[in-house]
Structure 1
Amino acid sequence: MKDLKLFMRSFKFKRSKLDLSKIKKITIQSCKNGLGDAIIISGLPKILKKHGYHITILTLESNALIFKENPNIDEIICVGRTLSSSQIKKLKSLECDLFIDPNNKTSYSDWVFKMIRYIKPHHTLGMNYPKFFRIYDSIIDYKEYRSHISKRFIYILNKLNINLSEDQYHYDIYYPNEYDIEIKKFLSHLQNKLICIFNPFASSEKRSFSNNQIEKIIKICSTTPNLFTIIVGDMNKISSIPETKNVSVNKLEHFFYTVALIKYCDLVISVDTSIVHLANAYNKPLISVYSSEVDSINPKYENNYVYKPNYNNGIQIIAPGKTAKNLDIKVFNEQFVNLLNSIKSED
């Protein structure tokens, strides 16, 4: 019944043909839940803008901060899962030559289809949808089950005759300078120490460290000479973690403070992929811990690969038993020591 309703929502009498000469204004659908997804997609507007396109981002209000300062984005439209009358009016007034949806069929496809029907773009581009969902004029058959998610954007760009290799795709983060100024001031008394950013909690319990693991990692960090560790994450979760002489809990709640801390740190430890992607954006030495999750709609897509760090400075540890809580801290410590030695040798 869900697929039948989706089919009804997607129906259009005639598909349009992709004519690149008629495409000037592009809308990118970026309405997935997490900030990590927004960080990954942030590299696309810069490339498209360079080729002369007008760029509109369609996003959730909670993710809009990733895009608001980006000079390569001409317009941002924030939408909710229940579309308000003002949001519907905004969608109906949007001029769109090409609507790009970089995601597979998901639980919110019906909602995306509604927005497309309000926008009425001249051409729509989707990924992996069966052809009977007629809402998409062009469909990219993407079966890179073990490739990083950024590979999707290479396929999309190729469709627009923009040739780019995967290693040329970079995240593109902008935010107000005031956060840099405050973090530089905060870190100024630690100039003789390496700064480590530690993110112990993810959005799900299975991807988060246990209290015992956090205690052991803090002990390792606090006893490492010339290292100062700052714990970041959801304040409701990290506020109860005890501080030590060389370990503090970040009390600056805005996400951009965390971005700035990562920008100016020396190494990152994280179980959360949004922090992993930020470490990638600033090419920071990283130890990340993954928990072998798969895509809920299509389990052929393995998240260990799809959302991996994807850069040379990023170390990925796969926890056994599909949860970070099963990671032996000895395994972490071995990688941690190796990473510190590597950083010190570069200095």
Structure 2
Amino acid sequence: MSRITWEIKFIRKKIKLYISNLLNRIVMFSFPKRKEKFSPENIKSILIARNDKIGDMVVTTSLIKNLALAGYDVYVSSQQSSLEILKNNPYVKGTFSYNDYSYKDLFESIKKIRKFHFDLVIDTRPFYSFEMKKIIFCAFTNSTHLMGFNKSNVKSYNISIPYYNNDSHITNQLNKIYDYINIQNYDKSYDLYIAEDNKKYINEFITKYNIAKFVIINPFGGAKKRELSQWQMEYLVEILKKIKPDHTIVFIGEQNKLKNIDPNLGLKFQSNSILDVIALIKEASYVVTVDTSIVHITSAFGLPCLTIYSESILFEKTDDINLTMRKKWKEYYRNACNNLVDKSYLKKNKLLVELPYCYDQLWSPNNPNAKQIVFYKSFLSKVDNEEFSQRILSCIKIVLL
């Protein structure tokens, strides 16, 4: 695509975004305003609005535990799949299923939550993320106070925590919440619980296949770009068998994807839910995984782990006009959305925010026993075989020996 064609496309995209954000401003104007002065001592019930994926919930479990130990009644809203990992959590008073597949679904989620009156709702969405449906949900939760990150322009948020740190783990953002509710000492570790029926299921699996020790391979991510190729899977198995010949290889992942793995590579774990997977991971010796929730589940148990990430190449300096213009658009889009919800703070502090292109630091394993490899390719499966083998071999020996 030529530069002129890209410039025309860029102008069209800017016009569409302007119209979209104009409509968003109109919607935000209708939001209820919260003006009551925030006093931590008056807070009894808290709803954590997580409303996203399993990995995000795992890193939030420490916040849930610390708030509960501080004496608060803690409730959580999120996608149903994420709520699964909280089933056995003793620090959660209740959960609410969140669905924004359509606006009808979103309004049903709001309707359910409005029956309750929480003293405080905490919108935990990352500082770089803009999703209007999730903001609408939080705005209409019927709570006395609403806390979120970088929402100075959204008057429903009477507590807007400024945070624009691109180089720190995502848990550092969540830790800022403690400053506002006067929690001085808190546990940073993730907090997962396993029920007896899940333990039993794993014991039966281990007994059935006569497994003494095993290493888990998770080759599938939440997006196609994060998945290992067939060659990459075969290479990992080959190396693991050489380094740890006494270990059984066990593959985990979505069942419809697992069925395509060659049975000669290793066992394929048939799970009933994410709780079975968590129970299996806890019993493993080592875990090799792409960038997905398995990284964070493994971190909860402090297991030795090799994590394989693929990152966008948009951040690199390049003469490729397509990459240059995609980077330009991403910068423009993020800043436009940021100004929409946080202009008051940005203008007051004369801030021009550089938003991250790469999330390997933000969503790193947060595990001293993990080794992280980052390949700067849009698709992990497209990494050169020689580069992949060299980097994997150098790291996997450190992790597993």
After TM superposition, the score normalised by the length of structure 1 is 0.88
Cα deviation, residue 139, structure 1: 0.8
Cα deviation, residue 163, structure 1: 2.3
Of residues 250-259 and 207-216 in structure 1, the stretch that sits farther from structure 2 once superposed is: 250-259
Aligned partners of 1:125 and 1:87: how far apart in 2? 19
SS at match of 2:360: helix
Q: Deviation digits for residues 233-281 of structure 1, max 9, x if unmatched? A: 111112121123x721112342222111100000000003200001101
SS at match of 1:77: strand
Which letter maps to 2:171? Answer: S
1:30 paired with 2:50, answer yes
Alpha-carbon distance change, 100 to 88 in structure 1, aligned in 2, over 3 angstroms: closer
Q: What's the counterpart of residue 196 of structure 2?
A: 177
Q: What's the counterpart of residue 145 of structure 1?
A: 166
Aligned partners of 1:318 and 1:309: how far apart in 2? 12
- Select which of 158, 165, 168 maps to 2:179: 158
Aligned partners of 1:27 and 1:265: how far apart in 2? 34
1:124 paired with 2:142, answer no
Aligned partners of 2:34 and 2:288: how far apart in 1? 51
SS at match of 1:304: coil
RMSD over equivalenced CA pairs, Å? 2.4
- Select which of 15, 18, 29 maps to 2:35: 15
SS at match of 2:394: helix
- Select which of 107, 117, 131 maps to 1:108: 131
Count of aligned positions:
335
1:218-237 aligned at under 5 Å gives the runs 218-223=237-242, 224-237=244-257
Of residues 225-234 and 170-179 in structure 1, the stretch that sits farther from structure 2 once superposed is: 170-179
SS at match of 1:121: coil
Aligned partners of 1:321 and 1:88: how far apart in 2? 39
Cα deviation, residue 73, structure 1: 0.9
Of residues 88-97 and 72-81 in structure 1, the stretch that sits farther from structure 2 once superposed is: 88-97
Alpha-carbon distance change, 321 to 20 in structure 1, aligned in 2, over 3 angstroms: same
Which letter maps to 1:331? Answer: R
Matched-pair contact (CA < 8 Å) for 2:304–2:400? no
Alpha-carbon distance change, 8 to 19 in structure 1, aligned in 2, over 3 angstroms: farther
1:1-347 aligned at under 5 Å gives the runs 1-11=19-29, 12-13=32-33, 15-32=35-52, 34-81=53-100, 82=102, 83-84=104-105, 87-103=109-125, 104=127, 106-109=129-132, 111-129=133-151, 131-164=152-185, 168-188=187-207, 193-223=212-242, 224-244=244-264, 247-293=266-312, 298=334, 300-301=355-356, 302-325=358-381, 326=383, 328-341=388-401
Alpha-carbon distance change, 68 to 6 in structure 1, aligned in 2, over 3 angstroms: farther
Matched-pair contact (CA < 8 Å) for 1:10–1:113? no
Which letter maps to 1:113? Answer: I
Which letter maps to 1:239? Answer: K
Aligned partners of 1:5 and 1:58: how far apart in 2? 26
Matched-pair contact (CA < 8 Å) for 1:196–1:229? yes
Matched-pair contact (CA < 8 Å) for 1:102–1:127? yes
Which letter maps to 1:66? Answer: I
Matched-pair contact (CA < 8 Å) for 1:289–1:318? yes
Cα deviation, residue 142, structure 1: 0.6
Aligned partners of 1:59 and 1:292: how far apart in 2? 26
Q: Percent identity between the aligned chains?
A: 24
Which letter maps to 1:135? Answer: S
SS at match of 2:124: coil
Aligned partners of 2:211 and 2:49: how far apart in 1? 44
Matched-pair contact (CA < 8 Å) for 2:146–2:156? yes
Q: Deviation digits for residues 58-86 of structure 1, max 9, x if unmatched? A: 11122221222211111111121145576
Which consecutive residues of structure 2, in runs of 5 or more, have no partner in the other structure?
A: 1-18, 316-329, 335-353
Matched-pair contact (CA < 8 Å) for 2:58–2:297? yes
SS at match of 2:36: coil
SS at match of 1:312: coil
SS at match of 1:252: coil
Matched-pair contact (CA < 8 Å) for 1:68–1:76? no
Aligned partners of 1:14 and 1:232: how far apart in 2? 46
Alpha-carbon distance change, 240 to 222 in structure 1, aligned in 2, over 3 angstroms: farther
After TM superposition, the score normalised by the length of structure 2 is 0.77
Alpha-carbon distance change, 76 to 134 in structure 1, aligned in 2, over 3 angstroms: same
Aligned partners of 1:198 and 1:290: how far apart in 2? 14
